Structure 1
Amino acid sequence: MSYIEPYIMAYGALALFVIVYLESFGMPLPGESALVASSLMALHGLMQIDAVLIAVVTGAILGDSTGYVIGRFGGRKLLEKHGHRVKLTPSRLAGFERQFEKNGFLVVASARFFVLLRQLNGIIAGSMKMRPTRFMAANIIGAIGWALVWGLGPYLLSGALAPYVAPVKNWFG
């Protein structure tokens, strides 16, 4: 995280937007850590919490949407061509697609809370031919929920929990 903090300090919400956007379509960046850190920076007056939340929600939605387009127009062909290397046969792929049709909305809406799924969410949804309107609705719900939990949550709870954190820190040295 220390290598990203200077960018957030220098460029603020724009840097946060770029980090979350790139992470949301597959790049291995610490979007969630950057969000929590930015939330705490906002708590100390170094950033505006509304700018943090807007940047994160926008970056998450656009990043997942970019991944969706990549998956929609190239992911399926890639899976069909190279899926056998990971034992993804055409019948398994069809079964996976049926399961995604049934539970895809929940997967997309909750994927942002799980590290690897957060990066591959849109690509998988696009590869599984999830309907664009259904994907976008789940994508928006997931992005807003994630931003509220990991952005607004630390911002609101840090002050309230501070008296309880100090004694716990002392237990561990």
Structure 2
Amino acid sequence: MTDMLLALVPEYGGWILMAVTFFSCLALPVPSSFLMLAGGAFAASGDLTMTTVLASALGGALVGDQTGYLIGRKGGAPLIARLQHARRSAGLLKRAQRMIDQRGGVAVFLTRWLFSPLGPYVNFIGGAMGLDWRRFTLGSLSGESLWVSLYTGLGFAFASQIAEVAQIASDLIGLLAALLVTVVLGRFLFRASPRNGA
């Protein structure tokens, strides 16, 4: 599927990027990050303009986030119950719910680019839990802007080495996520230790 979508990017450019980022925000398994890298590379070669690439990818992601939020707002408890029973999404759903409980708008921001597998579930849960729409939208806009700029910018800068950049970006985001989890777990253990508990 990735090869087929990649072949369509030079011809349909912005529309493909918009559709892929939209659907990725609704938990559909599409190669959005890779296609944004490719969009940046096509902009570097002159096949697309960078303005088209950025606007399309960002527009699709923002509309996808808002759609997920509205689905959560309208579907509420039945949607959450259905996702909890699905084997693939149950673990991601619990982590997303915990992040929304603890961090609200910051969770939305972080799950746009750093913890992106949680992003669609944060959209649904944010709506279902009644997270303030303005906080959700601010977190979405800032996080998606960073995600889109990062991937399209890397694609533009390293147009001739897209596959390598995609692997490095994936590894780097995994490393950053692991470091953040380590810091949070370390703080939790430090606070829970008997010397610091009381």
State TM-score, norm by structure 2.
0.67
What is residue 47 of structure 1 aligned with on the other side?
48
Judge conservation of contact 2:75–2:128 (CA < 8 Å) in 1. Answer: yes
Q: Tell me, yes or no, if structure 1 residue 104 matches structure 2 residue 143.
A: no
What is residue 129 of structure 2 aligned with on the other side?
128
Q: Deviations over 1:11-47 (max 9, x none)?
A: 1111111111111112111111110111111111111
Q: In 2 relative to 1, CA 75–38 (structure 1 residues): closer, same or farther, beyond 3 Å?
A: same
Q: Say which is worse superposed, 130-139 or 108-117, in terms of deviation.
A: 108-117
Q: Give the alignment's Cα RMSD to 1 decimal.
A: 2.7
State the distance in 2 between where 1:119 and 1:107 align: 12
Matches within 5 A, 1:1-173: 1-80=2-81, 83=84, 96=97, 100-113=100-113, 114-155=115-156, 157-158=157-158
Cα offset for 1:118? 3.3
Q: Say which is worse superposed, 33-42 or 123-132, in terms of deviation.
A: 123-132
Q: In 2 relative to 1, CA 29–71 (structure 1 residues): closer, same or farther, beyond 3 Å?
A: same
Q: In 2 relative to 1, CA 24–79 (structure 1 residues): closer, same or farther, beyond 3 Å?
A: closer
Structure with greater contact order relative to length (CA < 8 Å, sep ≥ 6): 1
Q: Percent identity?
A: 24
1:37 maps to a residue whose letter is: A
Tell me the secondary structure at the aligned position of residue 104 of structure 2.
helix
Judge conservation of contact 2:9–2:17 (CA < 8 Å) in 1. Answer: yes
Which ranges in structure 1 are unaligned for 5 or more consecutive residues?
166-173
What is residue 195 of structure 2 aligned with on the other side?
none
Cα offset for 1:8? 1.3
1:151 maps to a residue whose letter is: T
Q: In 2 relative to 1, CA 46–85 (structure 1 residues): closer, same or farther, beyond 3 Å?
A: closer
Judge conservation of contact 2:62–2:141 (CA < 8 Å) in 1. Answer: yes
Judge conservation of contact 1:52–1:151 (CA < 8 Å) in 2. Answer: yes
Judge conservation of contact 2:39–2:53 (CA < 8 Å) in 1. Answer: yes
Q: In 2 relative to 1, CA 47–71 (structure 1 residues): closer, same or farther, beyond 3 Å?
A: same
Q: Deviations over 1:27-74 (max 9, x none)?
A: 111111110111111111111111100001111110010000001111
Which ranges in structure 2 are unaligned for 5 or more consecutive residues?
165-198
Q: Deviations over 1:110-147 (max 9, x none)?
A: 11223422333311221222111110111100111111
Judge conservation of contact 1:23–1:29 (CA < 8 Å) in 2. Answer: yes
State the distance in 1 between where 2:69 and 2:27 align: 11
Q: In 2 relative to 1, CA 80–11 (structure 1 residues): closer, same or farther, beyond 3 Å?
A: closer
Q: Say which is worse superposed, 107-116 or 38-47, in terms of deviation.
A: 107-116
